[in-house]
């Protein structure tokens, strides 16, 4: 089994050209799976039945692992069994009919526009690190990029004269995304007055966003920086770099952007992934109806009224 798993991982690298982080996730999940098979005396492909895979998944559900992590783990197991079946290492696929019950769709957390502005105003732009933070978070919100894409961006990927950046998403898939004027301004200030003071000839290479030692800023480093600014802002929501991506997509759609255009900028292979943000937009429409329709206002008054102004209503005031 160990040899089959390693061959499958090699296949993902060579044939599928998946990103390093994705390969490592597959490796970890399949190691858990292999350990389970060994512990339950199922070390041969022919010994594995659907019931065993259900048992494997159930132990993580009982442990309280996040549903998204369990779904990812089952996906890894399914992909592995599909591979060994296609390679004719076995005559059946025990994972084919295995499914897990999913909870109703949870909408991603989104920041209001004024909350985004609160965070973006906090970095001290009279020092190199603060200037880097300002440029990086402006860039993150302006492009809707994943934080991993931002941190791997090089100066050569940013075409300042044209106002575009080249991003490399999952599986090293390339896309070109426009950069707004505000983000472009701060990127220019950072490249002129911040990055040269952080750069290290041995370690910086052409990486755009550097840490204090002149190396590529890490994901954990970026997360800690954002956490610091969120705490300073007084915002109580759970905010991660990915929240900027969700906010970017939601604000564009609420402003009337075409779904296909947002899909292209986010780098989603399937438009159904992008459509989650239309749920957020519909939530806004429902909010408008409840707030301004006379009969809905009467119902609200009978129930005690509402006390807070809606997220998107505030956002639109700032647009």
Active site residue 132: no
Contacts of 43 (CB under 8 A, 6+ apart): 1, 37
Q: Is the pTM of this model over 0.75?
A: no
Number of domains in the chain: 2
Q: Is 246 within the bounds of a domain? A: yes
Active site residue 170: yes
User: Does 228 share its domain with 133?
Assistant: yes
Catalytic residue among 245, 246, 251, 311: 245
Active site residue 251: no
Catalytic residue among 215, 268, 297, 314: 268
Domain that includes residue 82, residue range: 2-86
pLDDT for 146 equals 92
Q: Is 58 within the bounds of a domain? A: yes
pLDDT for 99 equals 86
CB 138 within 8 A of CB 120: yes
User: Does 42 share its domain with 122?
Assistant: no
> Alpha helix locations (H) across the chain?
2-14, 20-39, 50-63, 67-86, 113-120, 128-143, 147-151, 181-193, 195-198, 219-233, 241-254, 259-266, 271-274, 276-292, 294-302, 311-317
**Mean pLDDT, the chain cut into blocks of 10 residues (319 residues total):** 91 86 90 91 88 90 77 92 92 89 66 94 96 97 93 96 91 88 96 96 93 94 95 92 90 83 84 67 53 56 45 36
- In angstroms, the CA 141 to CA 118 distance is 13
User: Does 124 share its domain with 262?
Assistant: yes
Residue owning tokens 């707004």: 180
Selection from 310, 317, 245, 309 nearest residue 284 by Cα:
310
Active site residue 277: yes
CB 229 within 8 A of CB 119: yes
Q: What is the CATH classification number for the domain harbouring 228?
A: 1.10.443.10
- In angstroms, the CA 37 to CA 49 distance is 11
Query: Looking at residue 89, what DSSP letter applies?
Result: S
Final residue in a domain of this structure, among 51, 86, 121: 86
User: Does 52 share its domain with 145?
Assistant: no
Q: Is 130 within the bounds of a domain? A: yes
pLDDT for 278 equals 65
Final residue in a domain of this structure, among 70, 86, 102: 86
User: Does 238 share its domain with 157?
Assistant: yes
């Amino acid at each position: 089994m160990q040899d089959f798993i390693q061959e499958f991982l090699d296949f993902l690298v060579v044939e599928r050209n998946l990103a390093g982080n994705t390969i490592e996730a597959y490796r970890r999940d399949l190691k858990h799976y292999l350990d389970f098979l060994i512990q339950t005396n199922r070390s041969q492909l022919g010994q594995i039945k659907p019931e065993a895979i259900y048992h494997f998944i159930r132990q993580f559900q009982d442990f309280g692992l996040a549903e998204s992590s369990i779904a990812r783990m089952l996906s890894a197991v399914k992909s592995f069994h599909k591979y060994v079946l296609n390679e004719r290492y076995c005559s059946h696929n025990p994972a084919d009919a295995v499914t897990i019950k999913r909870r109703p769709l949870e909408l991603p957390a989104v920041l209001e526009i004024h909350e985004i502005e609160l965070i973006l105003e906090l970095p001290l732009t009279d020092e190199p690190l603060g200037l880097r933070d300002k440029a990086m978070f402006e860039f993150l919100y302006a492009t809707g990029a994943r934080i991993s894409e931002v941190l791997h961006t090089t100066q050569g990927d940013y075409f300042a004269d044209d106002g575009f950046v080249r991003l490399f998403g999952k599986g090293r898939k390339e896309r070109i995304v426009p950069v707004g004027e505000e983000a472009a301004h701060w990127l220019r200030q950072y490249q002129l007055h911040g990055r040269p003071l952080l750069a290290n000839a041995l370690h910086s290479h052409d990486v755009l966003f550097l840490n204090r030692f002149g190396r590529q800023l890490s994901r954990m480093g970026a997360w800690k920086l954002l956490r610091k600014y969120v705490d300073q802002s007084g915002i109580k929501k759970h905010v991660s770099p990915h929240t900027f991506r969700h906010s970017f997509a939601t604000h564009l759609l609420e402003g009337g952007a075409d779904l296909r255009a947002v899909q292209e900028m986010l780098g989603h292979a399937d438009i159904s992934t992008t459509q989650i943000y239309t749920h957020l937009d519909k939530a806004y429409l429902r909010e408008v109806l409840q707030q301004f329709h006379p009969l809905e206002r009467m119902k609200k008054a009978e129930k005690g009224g509402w006390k807070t102004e809606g997220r998107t209503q505030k956002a639109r005031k700032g647009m």
